[in-house]
Amino acid sequence: MNLFIRKYLQGDMVIWAVVFLLSLISVMAVFSATNNLAHYEKGGHTEFYLIKHMAIIVMGWGMIYGIHKVPHQYFSRVAQILLWLSIPLLAITLVAGTSVNSASRWLTLPVINITFQTSDLAKLALIAFLARQLSQRQEKMDDFKEGFLQIIWPVLIVCALILPANFSTAAVLFVTSLVVLFIGRVKFKYLAGLIGTIILAGSFVFLLSYAVPIEKVLPRFGTWKARIETYFTSEETEGMADANYQTEQAKIAIATGGITGVGPGNSVQRNRLPSAYADFIYAIIIEEWGSIGGMGILFLYLILLFRGLRIVHKGTTTFGTLLAFGCMFSLIFQAFINMAVAVNLFPVTGQPLPLLSMGGTSIWFTSIAIGMILSVSRSLNEKQPKPELAHVEG
């Protein structure tokens, strides 16, 4: 059996195992958390969302398997196409995208009528593109114009297009990009200067909002501002009743769970907590499986992080190393933010929990990222790279 698995599932077997475990946990957690949604939307037929979620996960596993078989060097060239494709798609989404919760984050594909978040595509494309650029410009890293400026412009453009509708995704992607740039040997003084400029500009806009109605330019700025003020003051800010309600219900779920939890399928807060199956699924997991279950989920993500760092340490190519690190860091960073929001260590952001929350395109793009990581890992286990692929990285 072990030989059969290793024949078809190549790369880091620990990553395969952890992803499989998270997938199983996701099925159980989503089945329980969608109880209230099924009651209102499907007449109480909870099996509808169970079957749908399982189908999405199976398709995600198919993506992982297919992509992990592709030599990771090919992603270098694909990155250029995906980046140039994602930028206009982000612009179209911003102007004419499908609005959900007063934010235009989704793009509906004609004919097939499927919606997806263009920011998910842009995130993968940008990480792969940065890995490509950094691998090609290692000799120019000390040059501000030829090195830093040539690499940073796609980061600023992509994040700026995501920002108006989804601040948290733009922030996560921006931080991920900076970390990848730092690992890629971009000078710290360049990154520090950029961070300082962003902080000053953000502080100026925040203070200016008390005198000028910035919401006319950035409609969701009021929501961002209110969430920050609510988090630091612990007082309900105008327009933030829903966010406060979510936070309070998540606290109740976590407190109810205690150490061992109330048992799978016995959650009460799933009927009161909005997005219990998505943004706040971690709180439902703790309620049902207790803090032991919550720590177990955290431990699984830490294992993924450790195995990702191991791939980076053993990496033989600059592109593969940066690609694997960027994809893994993005996944783990988003997971930590989601869990921090659930336990009230961070303001409400709306970030799903990778591999666990219900959601089609989120799971699929996460699966693609994992496939890329496993592709890099698979190449480390091969004795010699294929000669015809030696030129592809450039």
pLDDT attached to residue 25:
94
Q: Which residues pair with 108 in a beta bridge?
A: 115
CA distances (Å), origin 117, targets 86, 113, 156:
11, 13, 19
Cα–Cα–Cα angle for 334, 336, 340, nearest 5°? Answer: 120
- The average confidence (pLDDT) of the chain is 83
Q: Would strands 98-100 and 103-109 be described as parallel, antiparallel, or unpaired? A: antiparallel
**Least confident window among 85-89, 223-227, 268-272:** 223-227
Q: Coil, strand or helix: which one is 280? A: coil
Instruction: Provide the pLDDT confidence category of residue 55 given band limits of 50, 70 and 90.
Output: very high
Highest mean pLDDT out of 89-103, 203-217, 277-291: 277-291
Q: What integer pLDDT is reported at residue 166 of this predicted model?
A: 82
pLDDT top residue among 324 and 38: 324
Check residues 212 and 144 and name the one with the higher pLDDT.
144
Alpha helices by DSSP H, listed for 139-265, are: 150-162, 167-183, 188-208, 221-233, 241-257
SS3 state at 389: helix
pLDDT of residue 325: 94
Q: Averaged over 46-56, what is the pLDDT?
A: 88
Q: Give a three-class secondary structure readout of 25-79.
A: HHHHHHHHHCHHHHHHHCCCCCHHHHHHHHHHHHHHHHHHHHHHCCCCCHHHHHH
**Alpha carbon distances (Å) from 234 to 169, 210, 238, 314, 346:** 24, 20, 13, 46, 12
pTM for the model: 0.86
Q: What does the pLDDT look like over 119-162, one tens digit per residue?
A: 899 999 999 999 999 998 888 887 888 778 888 999 999 999 98
> What's the confidence (pLDDT) of residue 219?
59
Helix (H) or strand (E) holding 118: helix 118-136
With 90 as the cut, is the pLDDT of residue 244 above it? no
* Residue 112 confidence (pLDDT) above 70: no
- Report the percentage of the chain scoring pLDDT > 70: 82
Q: In this predicted structure, which of 220-229, 275-284, 347-356, 385-394 has the lowest mean pLDDT?
A: 385-394
Average pLDDT over residues 346-358: 86
The answer to which of 7-11, 72-76, 132-136 has the lowest mean pLDDT is 7-11
Q: Is the pLDDT of residue 392 over 50?
A: no
Say how many C-beta atoms besides its own lie within 10 A of residue 105's C-beta.
23
Rg (CA), the chain: 21
Residues near 388 by beta carbon (within 8 Å), at least 6 away in sequence? none
| pLDDT per position as a tens digit, 155-185 | 999 999 988 878 888 999 999 999 999 998 8
Confidence (pLDDT) at 110: 66
Confidence of residue 385 (pLDDT cuts 50, 70, 90): very low
The answer to whether 54 and 27 have CB atoms below 8 angstroms apart is yes
pLDDT at 236 over 60: no
When pLDDT is cut at 50, 70 and 90, the band that residue 212 belongs to is: low
Which of 78-87, 245-254, 310-319 tops mean pLDDT? 78-87
DSSP letters spanning 131-170: HHHHHH-GGGTT-IIIIIIHHHHHHHHHHHHHTTT-HHHH
| pLDDT on residue 248 | 84
φ, ψ (nearest 5 deg) of residue 117 = -85, 115
* Mean pLDDT, residues 178-201 taken together: 90
Please tell me which residue, 145 or 75, carries the higher pLDDT value: 75
Beta strands in 210-369 (DSSP E): none
- Return the exposure string of 224-248: e unless at least 16 CB atoms fall within 10 Å of the residue's CB, then b: bbbbebbbeeeeebeebeebbebbe
